[in-house]
Amino acid sequence: MLEFLKSLFFGNRTIGEEIDPMKKYLVVGLGNIGNEYVETRHNIGFKILDALGDKEGFNFEPGRLGDIGSFKVKGRTVICLKPSTYMNLSGKAVKYWLDKEKVPLENLLVITDDINLPFGTIRLKTKGSDGGHNGLKSVQCLLQTTVYNRFRFGVGSDFAKGRQVDHVLGEWNAEEKSVLQERFKKSIELIESFVLSGVKNTMNDFNNT
């Protein structure tokens, strides 16, 4: 654990040496902790970060207000966070790690499910309302702004009136599971593009793909 914490917060640099804040990124996957939520649509943020960890070869370890992992790519440090606060208090974890790591707000990316997009559709936005999403509502409240990057993953709206909660807290069906791995790959490409190419180029290349 000690070696992990050293590598997370100091990497290959000596203690006391500063990293250029503009080269630090915080990628947050929203979700709920607990085995009963692992395969639910609401936890797509956690699932995408797990897939990213598998690709980049890092593990998540318990930290303050969430599980933390990190990797480096072309001189940039990417800190990945899965809040342990439950969805409704996600903003507490986001604000804490932004402040602790001194990550510029423009280098924040929040991954969330979205019922207003067809299943599997991915869309990157730089601002907007919470759209009734409790995780985004908490982030907006704690950051006191609606201007932050969010990666919206469509989970569709195939549910009866008044059954929205059942849908997002329901598990993926067989058809959805059959294409999730391909969607995870595309999602990872979007995250890496966000870090390396910037938000505008990434929006042009990936929105609605």
> At a CB cut-off of 8 Å and minimum separation 6, what does 191 contact?
27, 48, 52, 78, 109, 151
> Taking Cα atoms as reference points, which of 120, 81, 142 lies closest to residue 206?
120
Is 133 part of the annotated catalytic residue set? no
Distances (CA, A) of 94 to 80, 151, 177: 10, 15, 29
- Give the amino acid at 204: N
- The alpha carbon torsion through 43, 199, 148, 64 (nearest 10 deg) reads 50
Distance (Å, whole) CA 70 – CA 9:
9
Q: Which residue in 42, 92, 133, 152 is the catalytic one?
A: 42
Phi, psi (deg, nearest 5) at residue 57: 75, 35
CA distances (Å), origin 50, targets 10, 55, 141, 151: 22, 9, 27, 16
Q: Which of 146, 140, 50 is nearest to 89 (CA)?
A: 140
Annotated catalytic residues are 42
